[in-house]
Amino acid sequence: MSLTLQTLAEITGAELHGDGETVIEGVNTLADAGPRQLSFLTNSKYRPRLVETAAAAVILSPADLAACPTAALVSDNPHLAYALAAQALFPPVMSPPGVHPGAVIDDTAVVDETAMVGPGCVVGAGSVIGAGVSLGPNCVIGARCVLGEGTRLLASVTLGDDSRLGRRCIIQPGVVIGGDGFGFANDNGHWVKVPQLGGVRIGDDVEIGANTTVDRGAIHDTVIGDGAKVDNLVMIAHNVEVGEDTVIAGCAGISGSTRIGKRCVLAGGVGLVGHIELADGVTVSGMSLVTRSLKQPGVYTGGVPSQPHADWQKNFVHLKRLGDMHRRIRVLEKELAAARSGEPDEQQVK
């Protein structure tokens, strides 16, 4: 889609500097943008490329405007302005409504006439597919599922029985929602399956990345709140609760019955043990392991940043000796305290 800079300024709420009639046909990086493309500057490390850009216009902050050699859309939040501009220039391609002949729909399922059901899809008994819903090829919808208005499932998404998705959700390829949780009881070394009887409830405007899994609850439902965003390859176990507008990055693993508050951020590779709580506004740095509840907002870090291999080897040798070093220090502290107790009092000396 082609839009003028004036139109993009109105869409993004940015302040226009330059010719508002300039036509924009796409977006690109500062280094690669051409004369009919829009670029953006959201990271200061790329500021040196701004002065050489051939873009028709650049989205940037007020602090960077003086260095911009071309038209600009000035915003206090350039990243957000870029997102809105890109959405306007590249609106999602909506599939025409209808049910593909290769789809299998149970007689008791309800499919809105404005929904699209692609080839190879299966919709189970009692499920409801809402207005404007799109099911990509080979999606499997179990029994008694509900998909809210405008929700889109891309290719090969599986919803287990009793999964409920709100409005305008986007579920990327390969996601499994509502599979059995990891529940087993030990019988003298043998594992006996515990039936997983709950479902999954997902709010409005949730996006879930490719090949992520969200397990059904053991008794009560697993819940993901409105506006939450979950990256690729994330594991969300049974009875987890994820608060509104929380963001979970790739390869995070969340154990069962964990409760995560609103507006939290879990960076890549974070691991959470089960049955703990994270307060609203908690941020956990990448590769951190959380083993206890975090009851105050803030940033928490438990990972070890990378370092030269030789340094790591030296430090690890000391790490293995920490117990012995601690014991020796305690002995020295006691000896020092005993020695000091035999010294004359400073006040008496004076």
Is 238 designated active site? yes
Tokens representing residue 261 in the block: 């508050």
Concatenated DSSP letters for 212-258? -EEEPPSSSPEEE-TT-EE-TT-EE-TT-EE-TT-EE-TT-EE-TT-
What single-letter amino acid sits at 317? Answer: V
Cα 255 to chain center, whole Å?
Answer: 16
Q: How far is CA 68 from CA 16, 30, 119, 253, in A?
A: 13, 11, 49, 43
Q: Which of 17, 100, 190, 238 is catalytic?
A: 238
For strands 190-193 and 184-187, give the pairing: antiparallel
CA distance 155 to 292: 37
What's the rounded Cα separation, in Å, for the pair 9 and 3?
10
Task: Give the integer Cα–Cα distance in Å for 173 and 146.
Answer: 19
Catalytic residues: 238
